[in-house]
Chain A
């Protein structure tokens, strides 16, 4: 449930197409519709997860939000300090730069995300340095504070990343993301590269930090168990579109989109007594360069009707806060996890 009714990030009609170039002259012969008309919002202090399979556009969406890549179309409204909403998508790069300290990122790969040639002090201190905290002493104190906050010993700040394990490096990455005291933290698969026994440590840390610092998370993941654990609301993506968005309980308990249902039933449950009657989807994920007509999911959907082959379903709010893009959402009764 949304804790505060204040929207921090409001994304409308976001699109990102990557051109496909062929031949000597690099002529554009088509587009990969990586993100195709994505609309969602995040309230201040809550966690929204973007979940889906590889190639569904969840990572591209998160990078667009940070303007790490430029969107093709759409609006990204972000609430600044003074309460005004600014459309980041429309701003030139030099105007985006000062806003970046309000939105930071936690990366997937704890090895690639830390410069191996810099000490922890330099890594965590760099955002402060380039944003004007030039006093070395002050920076050092703040780095020590941040390291303590993420559960690392401050004495380690002279060490290089190679001295640390994946989980510890991920903590360092989180400390860096918090260095500028951001409001929105985009976490792109922050635990998927970690060992199972370490994932829980990082998830707990992220939950605690959210509580302590009032952070807002945009959490990108493919692992539904992790998503269920961390999110308040979930948006399920399929081939560049959000097919369903609702609170975590609704998505997992009473899904309204057939893809969500299939996705949930595909997850292997760590309990041999629950060997499920899985819904195994036929076929392959649609090609975002050449999507099918109508609903992109219809070739694999066991509930597909004639209308699904012809018309693209619009995102509809079928219950308060429950958005679904399916022609048959209201008539279907789908199976969730546990009691449905």
Chain B
């Protein structure tokens, strides 16, 4: 699925830790992935897996007391030059420009990201003026145009309304309009549809796909919803407790998942396609609290394929199991007696 193109964004071994009184929370602990132009990368995981902090790290908007402690984030600039984002100061002019013009961001809850005392239009116009260097009139024309593109009816009128006057779906559209106002080459969407109803979610997902086709931008879609990932993503990164456990093309992830976590997760979700009222296979236990992160592979206490003495001792590295798919699990690593690439039986859970 991946083209021969160079990635737009490369994240290598990213580590973002939060240093708190109670201890250090390794929110992201060695994330590695690429985002290609015109493609959608889905990042999927449950609460505490570090998917949102990954996005914040890329944008350099990690809240105190969090800090990027290691790794690189390379953004391929429009002129072909690479920019290493971790080297920039979060408040520097360069970084602010990147946030405005190269990378757009869409949050889960659009209400909190709009100022209640300014009209929606005001905020879009401001963003356009700030980052695109045009005057107020042009910015307003462009803002109306953007609102129309994201499917807001009567944009000339809506532009003068406040965020609280819009419905949830329209607010999310307006939020996307703000993110798109300066034609970013990468759109990071952090749970963009979680707060919305299914029919509205379908509208927003459709809109994102349509905008991607028109503009050829890359999308990094962060969500816990496997259905949304299956509908939208080209490539998928599965995260668990700050680590990438598996990554690969969407079809491989859903049809030949390799990591025990991915496999168990896919089996445990109730699907609209499945037979009703039968017992679902489950993942035992619950996600550990970030302060109590298990040593070794973070998934081992819940893992059906746990190898005592190995999984609880060392952390597995991300290794390729096929051309496009890689997994971080000892089942696929040569030092384990089973040998490389051995597929454990499916029915062991």
Contact = CB atoms under 8 A, between A and B. Distances in A.
Interface stretch (A22-30, A87-95, A194-202): A194-202
A185 to B, nearest CB: 16
A266 to B, nearest CB: 4
B270 A225 contact: yes
8 contacts: A196-B46, A196-B268, A203-B280, A265-B202, A266-B202, A267-B198, A268-B202, A272-B251
A270 B199 contact: no
Contact of B272 (A222, A252, A262, A272): A252
A212 to B, nearest CB: 13
Interface in B198-218: 198-203, 205-206
Nearest to B170: A284
A70 interface: no
B181 to A, nearest CB: 23
Contacts of B268: 196-197, 199-200
A32 to B, nearest CB: 15
Using C-beta atoms within 8 Å of the partner chain, give the interface range for chain A: 35 or more
Interface stretch (A77-85, A113-121, A152-160, A229-237): A229-237
Contacts of B281: 200
Contact of A269 (B227, B255, B277, B302): B227
Given A230-B276, A270-B227, 19 more contacts: A165-B286, A166-B286, A196-B226, A196-B268, A197-B46, A228-B271, A229-B270, A229-B274, A266-B198, A267-B198, A268-B231, A268-B232, A270-B229, A270-B266, A275-B230, A275-B231, A278-B202, A284-B170, A284-B200
Nearest to B226: A270
A285 interface: yes
B270 A228 contact: yes
B280 A266 contact: no
Given A167-B286, A269-B230, A275-B231, A207 B206 contact: no
Interface string A167-201: 11000000000000000000000000001111111
A196 B284 CA distance: 12
A231 B283 contact: no
Nearest to B302: A197
Interface residues of B, number: 50
B255 A273 contact: yes
Given A195-B286, A199-B270, A204-B280, A272 B230 contact: yes
Nearest to B240: A197
Interface of A: 53-54, 165-168, 195-201, 203-204, 207-208, 222, 224-226, 228-232, 248-249, 252, 262-276, 278, 280-281, 284-285, 337-338
Contact of A228 (B232, B272, B286): B272
Contacts of B197: 53-54, 222, 285
Contacts of B199: 53, 262-263, 266, 280-281, 285
B295 to A, nearest CB: 20
A274 B231 CA distance: 8
B47 interface: yes
Contacts of B233: 272
Contact of B203 (A201, A222, A280, A338): A280
Report which residue of A228, A275, A281 has the largest number of chain B beta carbons within 10 angstroms of its beta carbon: A228
